[in-house]
Structure 1
Amino acid sequence: MRSSRRTTQKPDFPARTAPRAGSLDGLDATIATCRACPRLVAWREEAARVKRRAFRDWEYWARPVPGFGPADAPLGIVGLAPAAHGGNRTGRIFTGDPSGDALYAALYDLGLASRPTATHRGDRLELYGVRITVPVHCAPPGNRPTTGERDTCRPWLARELQLLRPALRAIVVLGAFAWQALLPVLTDAGWQLPRPRPVFGHGAEVLLAHSGGGRPLHLVGGYHPSQRNMSTRTLTPAMLRDVLRRGAQVGGLPVRLHHGGPGA
């Protein structure tokens, strides 16, 4: 476990620090130092101390997990938060848990990832034109961040979208939590939400104009590839590919289905 015994930081650490990040690399490095939410700090470090039996030989990341993907990505993917024994263990978002297994396999199927599996930071996996991030960067107990934790973490997402904005054309939003967390960030960044506010749903789409005359942004909603959603077939691999394919299309990315059948 890489974490330290330092005390938590003040809750305004993200708000004070995020706007000063001049690049995504700098932002990612700063996110990994955040200790602003005492409950999340305690949980992520306890998970790393106790470990699961299958991962007893791992040195857990046990820090906030930054986004993953190139800085000039036209397509963003926004999820929920790292899993205690997934991203909190591997140090990469959507890596090391069933949700990540489903997501990276779908991205590979569409030609948006260099391979269908992700195991850890440094495994040489590449994403093509895609940046994956989350509104909450620490693993929460029960996969349920509080609204206060979401709001404390919000400046990281806001700055990430600002840095991505020159190339960003579309975002696939995985799950209702991510949808609700993302909308106020987009409003603050100058994108205009229609009235009434767009409602989340699998396959929901909305085009947001930018008040400053910048490029409009396509939002595409999709169910989160959680183990529960996949096992109950609330979300199937084909459904996941469909929303990712749509996001890539409106984002101007070429896609090709080179693995898996349409009903797989």
Structure 2
Amino acid sequence: MDPHPLTGQQFASPVPPGTGWPGDPATPDTPVADTEQEVSRLAEEVGDMPELDARISVCRACPRLVAWRETVATRQRRASFADQPYWGRPVPSFGDPEASVLVIGLAPAANGANRTGRMFTGDRSGDWLFAALHRAGFASLPTAVASGDGLVLTGLRITAPVRCAPPANKPTTEEKRICSHWLDRDLELAEPHLRSMLALGLIGWDATLRAARRLGWQVPKPKPKFGHGAETTLLTPAGRPVRLLGSYHVSQQNTFTGKLTREMFDAVVARL
């Protein structure tokens, strides 16, 4: 049992649903998906964002990802976080349930969101992302330390095509397909309010375009090419336009090398 860094409450890792972890959307009665068929069914029948987040947060449909996220949470913690509990579960979306802007990442980091239980929270990528969102007026704070730190997003929601931390940051094709049912439903529930989306990296860009096609949105042909600052317009089944923008991912590989600068990222975020 380890204390939460903000509340001091004691938690086992991985954190059981409904035990008081700040921001945990699930309860002991939340249905658990153990197969792709169950992921599809549980995603399709959900009626609102909070319940979708709850079901995502207890999913166990990908055995390799379940084993890895829980191994990191219990036996392979980073030394600097050894005294903290790890979430060790799938990470739900985070932000305004009626957002007009979506940010689509890739997957949780093993010692970032897999530890804190919140998208892009607790690592250098999150430091970059939330600082930019704060400068643009979307985030109440420029930092994201842990769930329960008071950070609130207004008009924006962060989601991802893969919800569990993958080994070597590389989910398999099958894992991405299984998790795509959650992303599809996330987009469906967001669509009535949605104005624009920001895909972080090529994987987020491609995952968003595939989800849009599966949902019957009109996607330009040939497939829009990804690049930093790329932009295309998708049409919902009702014919309403939704802009999709691309940015290099806020990974340390990009930000430390200067491939992505603060000015470059702010310029794309400003267009949302």
Per the normalisation by structure 2, the TM-score is 0.87
- 1:12 deviates by 2.3
Contact kept in structure 2, 1:33 and 1:64, CA below 8 Å: yes
Consecutive unaligned residues of structure 1, counting only runs of 5 or more, are 248-264
| Match among 250, 258, 261 for residue 236 of structure 1 | 261
Contact kept in structure 2, 1:190 and 1:212, CA below 8 Å: no
Please identify runs of 4+ aligned residues in structure 1 that moved more than 3 A.
Answer: none
| Match among 77, 81, 86 for residue 60 of structure 1 | 86
Count of residue pairs the alignment pairs up = 244
Change (3 A) 1:131 1:8: closer
Consecutive unaligned residues of structure 2, counting only runs of 5 or more, are 1-12, 17-31
- What residue in structure 2 maps to residue 169 of structure 1? 195
- What residue in structure 2 maps to residue 21 of structure 1? 46
The whole-number CA distance in structure 1 between the counterparts of 2:15 and 2:181 is 22
- 1:211 deviates by 3.5
- What residue in structure 2 maps to residue 2 of structure 1? 14
Query: Deviation per CA, 1:180-206, whole angstroms, max 9, x where unpaired?
Result: 111111112232111101011100000
| Match among 56, 60, 71 for residue 46 of structure 1 | 71
AA of the residue aligned to 1:223: Y
Q: Does 1:110 align with 2:136?
A: yes
Q: Does 1:227 align with 2:239?
A: no
Higher RCO (CA 8 Å, separation ≥ 6 residues): 1
- 1:20 deviates by 1.2
The whole-number CA distance in structure 1 between the counterparts of 2:112 and 2:237 is 38
Q: CA RMSD in A?
A: 1.4
The whole-number CA distance in structure 2 between the counterparts of 1:115 and 1:139 is 25
Query: Deviation per CA, 1:150-201, whole angstroms, max 9, x where unpaired?
Result: 0000010110111111100100000001111111111122321111010111
- What residue in structure 1 maps to residue 119 of structure 2? 93
- 1:110 deviates by 1.1
Q: Does 1:195 align with 2:221?
A: yes
Contact kept in structure 2, 1:44 and 1:63, CA below 8 Å: yes
Contact kept in structure 1, 2:194 and 2:242, CA below 8 Å: yes
| Match among 160, 171, 194 for residue 134 of structure 1 | 160
- 1:8 deviates by 8.4
Contact kept in structure 1, 2:33 and 2:39, CA below 8 Å: no
Query: Deviation per CA, 1:202-259, whole angstroms, max 9, x where unpaired?
Result: 000001123433x211000000000110000100111111111112xxxxxxxxxxxx
Give me the identity figure in percent.
50
* Worse-superposed segment, 203-212 or 78-87: 203-212
The whole-number CA distance in structure 2 between the counterparts of 1:90 and 1:136 is 16
Per the normalisation by structure 1, the TM-score is 0.89
The whole-number CA distance in structure 2 between the counterparts of 1:218 and 1:83 is 27
Query: Deviation per CA, 1:68-108, whole angstroms, max 9, x where unpaired?
Result: 01111110000000000000000000001111110000101
